[in-house]
Amino acid sequence: MFLNHFEYFAPKAPEETLELVGRLGSKAKILAGGTDLMVVMKAKAISPEYLIDINGVEEFKGIFCEEGKGAVIGTNTKLAEIQFSEAIKAKYPALAYAAGEVGSSQVRHMASLGGNTCNASPAAETPTPLVAMGAKVAVSSLSGDRELPLEEFILGVRKLDLAEGEMLTKFILPEPAQKSACRYAYMGRRDAMEIDCVNMAVNIELANDSETVMEVKLVMGSVYPRPLVSREVPALLIGQKLSDELIEKAAEAAQGEAKPIDDIRASAEYRREIVKVLARRLLKEAYAAAKGV
């Protein structure tokens, strides 16, 4: 299993990268970790003519996390860095956890946060908590940058809102609200090296009474072509104090929204069951965490 022949570029600066991205267009693929790209290329599923290796561009890496100012994470920040980052663990535990459950240790040292998003696999791990936390992405091109919510950036299986000449350069995470908590969970057959059959993140923000839900975002992975943000869960829960019955109702609502498929990893029916279980567990967990208990 060999790769096709391609021309290799290793830019050192963002401008140089964007120039290449602009010039080579869709015949080029960006190489960050390569843990997905190399595998699909080996399988001859895609055969790009050019690879733009962005690992030499320092500006695309790094976690910038300041008290009260959210965080900015470079597109080519390795998942292992996020997994082990004390700042991320403290402020965005759901993201640190999700990053730490991707593939294997080796994969996490290679794979990047941007790659996990841009691969646009429905089973991707980190987009789920990122969407739940309201992360935005910065998309850059020679003609400038634009920012958009991550949930609008991923359009479907292997589909992104990315025009010719554009690339994802960073993730912008808002500062978590007071009295809020985000939690992530996944289900697969094993506890490592899994391609999730369902993953999910729940972000809950409470009112001053520490009991009434002010905002809630429940995001499902692997049950829809892209991260699926529940509409019904907020409708049910905002303004409410959560009870087991209410959580059960919300979980059922999420289950109803999920549109999973049957594949070798799990049946649609099973995935729907798991959506309900994870929703129930995460709502409870995130609610408790937001309350500070």
Strand order in the sheet with 50-53: 7-9, 50-53, 28-31
Classify strands 50-53 and 7-9 as parallel, antiparallel or unpaired: parallel
> Using the rule CB under 8 A, which residue among 104, 143, 210, 240 binds another protein?
104
Task: Determine, following the binding rule CB under 8 A, whether residue 245 of this chain makes contact with another protein.
Answer: no
Measured from the CB atom, is 124 or 135 closer to another protein? 124
Task: Determine, following the binding rule CB under 8 A, whether residue 39 of this chain makes contact with another protein.
Answer: yes
Q: For residues 201 and 128, what is the distance between their CA atoms, to the nearest angstrom?
A: 6
Contact window for another protein (CB under 8 A) among 96-104, 123-131, 199-207, 208-216: 96-104
The mark string for 110-149 relative to another protein (x by CB under 8 A, - otherwise) is x---------------------------------------
- 204-211, long-range: CB < 8 A, 24+ apart: 204/180, 204/283, 204/286, 204/287, 204/289, 204/290, 205/177, 205/179, 205/180, 205/290, 206/179, 206/180, 206/287, 206/290, 206/291, 207/179, 208/179, 210/179, 210/290, 210/291, 210/292, 211/241, 211/291
Find the binding residues for another protein in span 53-92 (CB under 8 A).
Answer: 53, 55, 80, 84
Q: Are 130 and 157 in contact (CB under 8 A)?
A: no
> Using the rule CB under 8 A, which residue among 59, 215, 273, 285 binds another protein?
273
Contact window for another protein (CB under 8 A) among 97-105, 120-128, 160-168, 234-242: 97-105
Task: Determine, following the binding rule CB under 8 A, whether residue 31 of this chain makes contact with another protein.
Answer: yes
Contact window for another protein (CB under 8 A) among 103-111, 149-157, 174-182, 242-250: 103-111
Phi/psi-derived region of residue 254, left when phi > 0, alpha when psi is between -120 and 50, beta in every other case:
alpha
C-beta of 37: minimal distance to another protein in Å?
8
Contact window for another protein (CB under 8 A) among 106-114, 120-128, 152-160, 285-293: 106-114
Contact window for another protein (CB under 8 A) among 33-41, 150-158, 159-167, 235-243: 33-41
263 contact partners, CB below 8 Å, separation of at least 6: none
Q: For residues 4 and 60, what is the distance between their CA atoms, to the nearest angstrom?
A: 27
C-beta of 291: minimal distance to another protein in Å?
23
3-state DSSP helix/strand/coil % of the chain, to nearest 5 = 40, 25, 35
Measured from the CB atom, is 26 or 106 closer to another protein? 106
Find the binding residues for another protein in span 153-212 (CB under 8 A).
Answer: 187, 189-193, 195
253 contact partners, CB below 8 Å, separation of at least 6: 230, 232, 233, 236
C-beta of 212: minimal distance to another protein in Å?
27
C-beta of 53: minimal distance to another protein in Å?
5
Measured from the CB atom, is 192 or 292 closer to another protein? 192
Kindly provide the b/e burial profile for residues 156-169, where b requires at least 16 CB atoms within 10 angstroms of the residue's own CB. Answer: eeeebebeebbbbb
Task: Determine, following the binding rule CB under 8 A, whether residue 51 of this chain makes contact with another protein.
Answer: yes
**Phi, psi angles (nearest 5°) of residue 152:** -90, -15
Which residues form the interface with another protein (CB under 8 A)? Answer: 1-8, 10, 31, 34-35, 38-39, 42, 51, 53, 55, 80, 84, 100, 103-107, 109-110, 187, 189-193, 195, 264-267, 269-270, 273-274, 277
